[in-house]
Structure 1
Amino acid sequence: MLVFWKARVVLLAVPKTGTTALEAALAPRADAAIVNPPGLKHCTVRKYRRELAEFFEQKGRRPMELIAVMREPRDWLGSWYRYRSRPQLDGQPNSTTGMDFDAFVAAHLSDPAPDFARVGSQAQFLQGGVDHLFRHDRMPDLVGFLQDRIGEEIALPRANVSPAGRTDLLPETEARLRRERAADFNLWNSLQG
C-alpha cells in the first residue's frame, strides 16, 4: 500500500495485480509505503477504512482517494497457480507443483480451500468500493493517472512475475468458477467500458 499525501491518493495492493512493480517504481516517491507485513501491504478496502483512514486522512480533514487494480478473474487465478508452482515452494503446503490448473481451481472453490488454493477474492478485497479501479491489462491508464496526480514520470519494471505455465480448464470447471465467483466476474465486467 502506497500513500501519496500531497496527491491525496492511496494505492491499495491487490495481490497478483502488478502492485510489486508499482511499489518498486513508486515507493521512493510515496509519503508512506507499507510493504510488510503482508496483511498490511495487502490491506483491503474495508480494513483501510476501518483501521487506517482516520490516521492517514487526519480524522476526515484530509480525505484520500482509494485506487486499486483488478485482474481478469480467471487470469488472476492463473497467476496465483503459476506463482505457487515455482521451485522455491516445492514441498510447502502452498505449492501447486505437480497439479494442473483445473485441479487448482476446483480446490480454490472447495470449502474450506486447502492452503495452496486459499487466495481469496478480488471482489471481497475491494468490497466497500474504491474511487478509481483500473484494469490490470490496461496498466498505462493507471500509470497516466498517477503521473498526472503525482506530477512525475513513472517507468514500471517487471517484478514478481509468475512463471509461464498452462492454465487450461475443463468446460464444467470454467462454468463452476464463473457461477461461484460471479461477484469477481461481475466487477470485472463493469470495467469493460
Structure 2
Amino acid sequence: MQMLVFWDQNLVLLAVPKTGSTALEGALAPRASMVLRDPPHLKHAPCYRYKRFLRPFFVQAGGKTPELMAIVRHPVSWLGSWYRYRNRDDLVGHQNSTRGISFDDFVVEYCKGDPAPFAAVGSQDKFLRINDGEIGVQHLFRYEAWDQVTAFLEHRLSLTLTLKQINVSPDMDLTLSDDVRAQLHHKRAAEFDIWQAGQG
C-alpha cells in the first residue's frame, strides 16, 4: 500500500491498511503524479502526519491544498482481514501470528489498552482524524460501498477502473460471539463512529 498523489486533479489517496488500497494502487499507480513508496512512515502516513509533513510541502510546491480521499472498513470486517492476514504460514512462530488463536480471542485482545503484538493493528479512527478530532479527509468512503469508490475516482480522474484482487487472505470463520461483539462496540466505539461517517 502506498500513498498516491494526483497533482492535476488535486487529490491524494491515503492508504488505510486492510481497506482494498492495494488493489486501487495497482490500477491507479501508473496514472499517479507521485507514488510514495518509502520511507514507511510517509507512505503509510495517517491524516495527522500528512497534515504536519506533507501538506505544507504540497502547498509550497503548487500553491494549493490537495483534497484527501480514504476508505474505511466496518470494524469487524477490518479486524477479520488483519486476523486472516496474520494467520499465514510465514508468520507461524512470530509474535504477530494469529495461528492457534480464535477470532474471539483476537478481538478481545485488540480491545485492551495495550494489546499483545498479534492484535496490535492500529486504529482506523486514529488514522483518519487530525489533532483537533476532525476527520482529516474530504472524501471518506465505506469499503462496503465499492461502487461509490470507483464512481468517484472514475469521475475525478477521468478514467475507467478495472480492479484486480490483490493480497487476498484465505477464507476463515470470522463469527464473533455476542459478548465479544458487544465488548468491541463498547471498548472501540470510535471505530464504529468513523465507519458510520463514511459515504455508503
Whether TM-score is above 0.5 comes out as yes
**Matched residues in 2 for 1:143 and 1:56: separation?**
25
Pairwise CA distance, 1:70 = 0.4
Q: 1:96 to 1:56 in 2, by over 3 A?
A: same
TM-score by length of 1: 0.94
User: Cα deviations across residues 120-154 of structure 1 (Å, max 9, x unaligned)?
Assistant: 11111001321000110111211111111111211
Q: Is the 8 A contact 1:53 1:59 kept in 2?
A: no
Which range moved further: 5-14 or 88-97?
88-97
TM-score by length of 2: 0.91
Alignment of 1:1-193 (within 5 A): 1-58=3-60, 61-128=63-130, 129=135, 130-191=137-198
Pairwise CA distance, 1:59 = 6.4
2:150 is matched by which residue type in structure 1?
Answer: V
> 1:183 aligns to what SS in structure 2?
helix
> 2:27 aligns to what SS in structure 1?
helix
**Matched residues in 1 for 2:59 and 2:164: separation?**
30
**Matched residues in 1 for 2:70 and 2:5: separation?**
12
User: Cα deviations across residues 130-187 of structure 1 (Å, max 9, x unaligned)?
Assistant: 1000110111211111111111211111011221111122221111100111111122
**Matched residues in 2 for 1:72 and 1:88: separation?**
27
Identity %: 48
**Matched residues in 2 for 1:39 and 1:160: separation?**
21
Runs of 4+ in structure 1 off by over 4 angstroms are none
2:53 is matched by which residue type in structure 1?
Answer: E
**Matched residues in 2 for 1:93 and 1:41: separation?**
24
Q: Is the 8 A contact 1:54 1:60 kept in 2?
A: no
**Matched residues in 2 for 1:161 and 1:103: separation?**
22
Cα-Cα RMSD: 1.5
**Matched residues in 2 for 1:87 and 1:180: separation?**
30
**Matched residues in 2 for 1:118 and 1:4: separation?**
32
**Matched residues in 2 for 1:38 and 1:15: separation?**
12
Q: Is the 8 A contact 1:94 1:117 kept in 2?
A: yes
Q: Where does structure 1 lack aligned partners over 5 or more consecutive residues?
A: none
Pairwise CA distance, 1:81 = 0.3
1:93 is matched by which residue type in structure 2?
Answer: Q
**Matched residues in 2 for 1:12 and 1:121: separation?**
14
